[in-house]
Amino acid sequence: MHSAPFRRREFIGLGLGLATATVGLGPRAAHAQGSAAGFPSKPIQLVVPFPAGGATDGAARLIADRLRLQLGQPVLVDNRPGASGILGTDFVARAPADGHTLAFSLSTSLLINQFLYKKLPYQPQKDLALVSHVVNAPIALLVNPSVPAANADELGRYIRANKGKLSYGSWGVGSAGHLSLAEMSKKFDADMTHVAYKGEAPMLQDLVGGQIPMAFASMLQAKTFADTGKVRIIGVTGEKRSGALPAVPTFVEQGWKDDIFRITGWAGVAAPAATPKAVIDKLADEIRKACEQPEVRSRMLALLGNEPTAYGPEQFAALYARELPVWQRAVKDTGATLD
């Protein structure tokens, strides 16, 4: 994996007790070991920094319902949307570090935003502790049926043959769809034009209408449009095929082994940085138990296109450390900014 240079620091900003990792962390006091006895002692507030009704909100409510049964305390989903997930995430970063206020958020607010915004009110690696990676969220590359390509190799040849003539859409500047296609344009020296939309729905409308030839989309939207023949799916990101599109090969399978196509977006749970490790470990264990329930697994597949992973703090931290330089480089290469 290629990565930009980082100073070596202790990986304590995410509160996970790893010895070292090549990440740009500032020094911070390590987590108190503490005790999880008596936790939780009151209702847990699960903050979703996005509007109610979406897939992320649905997944959070699914986990919250199971945690309520397991922990014997209410787990209240609190939607605090705004500024690409920043408002709700900042609320959690500033909350008391006792495990009773958590974020259920995406890789955008927990990882990528720190490179898109020059001034965030919180620093993910300093102010938050990763608790549990809940589910991967790969994306699928779609093309309008007029594009003469059915797989990655054919699309690459088409892009090379049309340097400077093609465009691509995304649901917003700095989104995974934008950064991935920008890297693809760079890969083939294609000089493609980025067209940013305010959301996935208008982007897909223009893709179907032929105003743009290609775009990445979420798994379930990709499946819906492909099943009706309105678009063609070229491939999906990640190391493994998506549960929502098991017949569609990954880009890695098709020979595109660039880092940007190996990683995916994700949804996960985070807590304020100084939350005791014992409490974080208990929360992670309870989330794992929730994710092992068959009904949770099937409903998560329906909501986000994949069954839950429920990686604990250490595995989540390792994944975060691997992905961070990939997204940082992608943002730098595109010059994307949201300030």
Do the beta carbons of residue 229 and residue 143 sit within 8 Å?
no
- Say yes or no: 214 and 258 in one domain: yes
CA angle 175, 180, 181 (to 5 degrees): 105
pTM confidence score: 0.86
- CB-CB contact of 84 with 301 (8 Å): no
Q: Of 262, 292, 312, which residue sits at a domain end?
A: 262
Q: Are residues 33 and 81 in the same domain?
A: yes
Three-state DSSP class for residue 153: helix
Number of domains, the chain: 2
Tell me, yes or no, whether 128 and 189 share the same domain. Answer: no
CATH number at residue 117: 3.40.190.150
Concatenate the DSSP letters of all residues of 210-278 into one string. TSSSEEEEEHHHHHHHHHTTSSEEEEE-SSS--SS-TTSPBTTTTT---HHHH--EEEEEEEETT--HH
Same domain, 239 and 303: no
Assess whether 82 and 180 both reside in one domain: no
DSSP 8-state secondary structure symbol assigned to residue 250: B
DSSP strand pairing (265-272 vs 128-137): antiparallel
- 2, part of any domain: no
Q: Are strands 167-170 and 193-196 parallel, antiparallel or unpaired?
A: parallel
The answer as to whether 3 is a domain residue is: no
**Within a domain: 120:** yes
Q: Which domain holds residue 277?
A: 9-137+265-334
Q: How many CA atoms lie within 13 A of 152 on its CB side?
A: 21
Residue pLDDT tens, the chain, 339 long: 333 333 333 333 343 333 333 223 333 334 556 677 889 999 999 999 999 998 899 999 999 999 999 999 999 999 999 998 999 999 999 999 999 999 999 999 999 999 999 999 999 999 999 999 999 999 999 999 999 999 999 999 999 999 999 999 999 999 999 999 999 999 999 999 999 999 999 999 999 999 999 999 999 999 999 999 999 999 999 999 999 999 999 999 999 999 999 999 999 999 999 999 999 999 999 999 999 999 999 999 988 888 999 999 999 999 999 999 999 999 999 999 998
